[in-house]
Amino acid sequence: MKNKLSARDYLLKYSSATTKAVMRATGVSAKTVYSVRWKLKQDEKDPVKDKANSERAIALARPKIRMQGCGDSPMPDPVNHPPHYTTGGVETIDFIEAKKLNYNLGNVVKYITRADHKGDRMEDLRKAKWYLEREILSAHI
């Protein structure tokens, strides 16, 4: 049986791999993939500077990502993978793209999925309604 790569090793080898591809190849959740990507980006910003002790420095620089259910959660990435879009293990944009939704319907999904996780719930639901009504009107033209 072929050993599976860790999500980190897979992303180091195939940096442009999609989240789904990493999940299939490594058996980890989407949340873990996003966390590993985020940590790898952070590591790129702070390259190892201790050349005299490079092996130790590299070991210290490796991401310390915990798997779901193994204690502390990885730190959220509020720009690339905000928690209000990743709740439930599927990032909202991945769902929208997989279903090939247009702009209006994508925004409906976006505002509905984040309504209970960011800011004013009713405001997000009103925004979703606004985009849905706009889609309905455009279908009649």
Q: Which residues contact 101 (CB under 8 A, 6 or more apart)?
A: 109
Alpha-carbon distances, residue 18 vs 30, 33, 94, 105, 113 (angstroms):
10, 10, 10, 23, 22
| pLDDT value, residue 109 | 93
DSSP structure string for 33-45: HHHHHHHHHHHHH
48 and 86 share a domain? no
12 and 74 share a domain? yes
25 and 36 share a domain? yes
133 and 103 share a domain? yes
40 and 61 share a domain? yes
DSSP 63: -
* Domain hosting residue 74, numbered range: 1-80
Tell me the one-letter amino acid at 36. V
**Per-residue pLDDT tens over the stretch 30-54:** 888 888 888 887 777 655 444 444 5
16 and 70 share a domain? yes
104 and 73 share a domain? no
Tell me the one-letter amino acid at 21. A
For residues 98 and 118, is the Cβ–Cβ distance under 8 A? Answer: no
Task: Please count the residues of the chain.
Answer: 141
**Per-residue pLDDT tens over the stretch 5-19:** 788 888 888 888 888
Low-confidence ranges of the chain (pLDDT < 50): 1-3, 48-53, 64-71
Provide the domain count of the chain. Answer: 2
| pLDDT value, residue 40 | 80
90 and 32 share a domain? no
